[in-house]
């Protein structure tokens, strides 16, 4: 009798373990499916905007070109994705592209469309509230909250080289060498040294920006990882802002 009771208890425990194991497997599968569906939804939404919009001036054309680059990168990432984190990376890249689309629509005087999900990095960086100018290595770089013939390169705000960069329209895409890595990253960091201090005071919404500016000396940030993301080769590591 005692042996029978022991066998029943052991059998019950095994059944419980197997049931929980199957439950975890189902949950992981559902999470993967949800992540993939979310990635495809934002990717298709970006594609619809990129394929149906045509810029009417230099700022809108440039913003749509940047959006198209994100669309291409998101498509590459989507083709290679097989895990939930990789599908979330696709979502991040597509959302970044949609921020460029909103900028292009605004530049053309169109309704920018519904609000997009934000991010901690973007909220931390804030956005330019006024026009600013800085002199860097013999050239003048400007930034403004609104597009113009002079400031036709949009940046949606986020972290570059470990530092917050406010959203706004700039006279040149000075951040791209830093995102792409390689030799150009060092020059980009030198340019950023002046820009961070020059534009930081003009940003609104970036609560932590003033503290972050104080210790920046224009050199390469030791925490920066400007190279290709070794874990997933669908794009370039953008330091927490998304991959491009």
Residues above pLDDT 90, as percent of the chain: 45
SS3 207: coil
Q: Mean pLDDT throughout 161-167? A: 81
Count how many domains the chain has: 2
In a domain, 74, yes or no: yes
pLDDT at residue 34 greater than cutoff 90: yes
Question: Between these two residues, 198 and 157, which has the higher pLDDT value?
Answer: 157
DSSP state of 166: -
Residues above pLDDT 70, as percent of the chain: 64
Asked if residue 80 and residue 144 are part of one domain, the reply reads: no
Asked if residue 85 and residue 28 are part of one domain, the reply reads: yes
In a domain, 237, yes or no: no
> Which pLDDT belongs to residue 144?
94
- Of 107, 134, 164, which residue sits at a domain end? 107
Residues 6+ apart with CB under 8 A from 169: 59, 103, 128, 143, 144, 145, 146, 147, 148, 151, 152, 153, 154
Token pair of 69 as six digits: 């680059």
Asked if residue 140 and residue 207 are part of one domain, the reply reads: yes
> Which pLDDT belongs to residue 230?
37
Question: Between these two residues, 54 and 225, which has the higher pLDDT value?
Answer: 54
Asked if residue 147 and residue 95 are part of one domain, the reply reads: no
Asked if residue 163 and residue 91 are part of one domain, the reply reads: no
Q: Mean pLDDT throughout 155-171? A: 87
Could you tell me the residue range of the domain that residue 127 belongs to?
Answer: 122-213
- Of 79, 107, 135, which residue sits at a domain end? 107
Q: Write out pLDDT tens, residues 151-162.
A: 999 999 988 777
Q: How many helices (H) and strands (E) does the chain have?
A: 7, 8
- Of 107, 132, 156, which residue sits at a domain end? 107
In a domain, 231, yes or no: no
> Which pLDDT belongs to residue 6?
60
Asked if residue 99 and residue 19 are part of one domain, the reply reads: yes
Asked if residue 126 and residue 101 are part of one domain, the reply reads: no
**What does pLDDT average to over the chain?**
77
Range with the poorest average pLDDT among 1-10, 111-120, 137-146: 1-10
Asked if residue 46 and residue 73 are part of one domain, the reply reads: yes
pTM (predicted TM-score)? 0.72
Asked if residue 168 and residue 126 are part of one domain, the reply reads: yes
Residues paired with residue 168 on neighbouring β-strands, in sequence order: 155
Q: Write out pLDDT tens, residues 48-104.
A: 999 999 999 999 999 999 999 999 999 999 999 999 999 999 999 999 999 999 999
Question: Between these two residues, 159 and 224, which has the higher pLDDT value?
Answer: 159
The per-residue DSSP string of 48-61 comes to: HHHHH---SSHHHH
């Amino acid at each position: 009798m005692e042996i029978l009771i022991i066998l029943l208890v052991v059998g019950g425990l095994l059944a419980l373990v197997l049931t929980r194991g199957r439950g975890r497997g189902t949950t992981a599968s559902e999470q993967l499916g949800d992540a993939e569906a979310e990635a495809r939804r934002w990717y298709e939404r970006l594609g619809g905007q990129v394929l149906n919009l045509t810029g009417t001036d230099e700022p809108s054309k440039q913003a749509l070109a940047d959006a198209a680059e994100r669309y291409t990168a998101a498509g590459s990432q989507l083709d290679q994705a097989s895990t939930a984190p990789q599908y979330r990376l696709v979502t991040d890249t597509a959302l970044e592209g949609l921020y460029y689309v909103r900028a292009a629509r605004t530049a053309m005087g169109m309704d920018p469309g519904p609000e997009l999900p934000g991010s901690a990095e973007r909220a931390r960086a804030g956005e330019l509230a006024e026009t600013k100018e800085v002199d860097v290595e013999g050239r003048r770089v400007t930034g403004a909250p609104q597009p113009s013939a002079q400031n036709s390169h949009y940046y949606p705000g986020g972290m570059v080289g470990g530092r917050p960069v406010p959203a706004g329209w700039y006279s040149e895409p000075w951040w791209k060498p830093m995102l792409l890595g390689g030799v150009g990253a060092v020059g980009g960091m030198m340019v950023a040294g002046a820009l961070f201090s020059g534009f930081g005071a003009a940003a609104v919404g970036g609560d932590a920006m003033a503290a972050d500016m104080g210790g920046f000396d224009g050199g390469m940030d030791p925490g920066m990882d400007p190279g290709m993301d070794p874990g997933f080769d669908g794009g370039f590591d953008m330091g927490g802002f998304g991959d491009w």
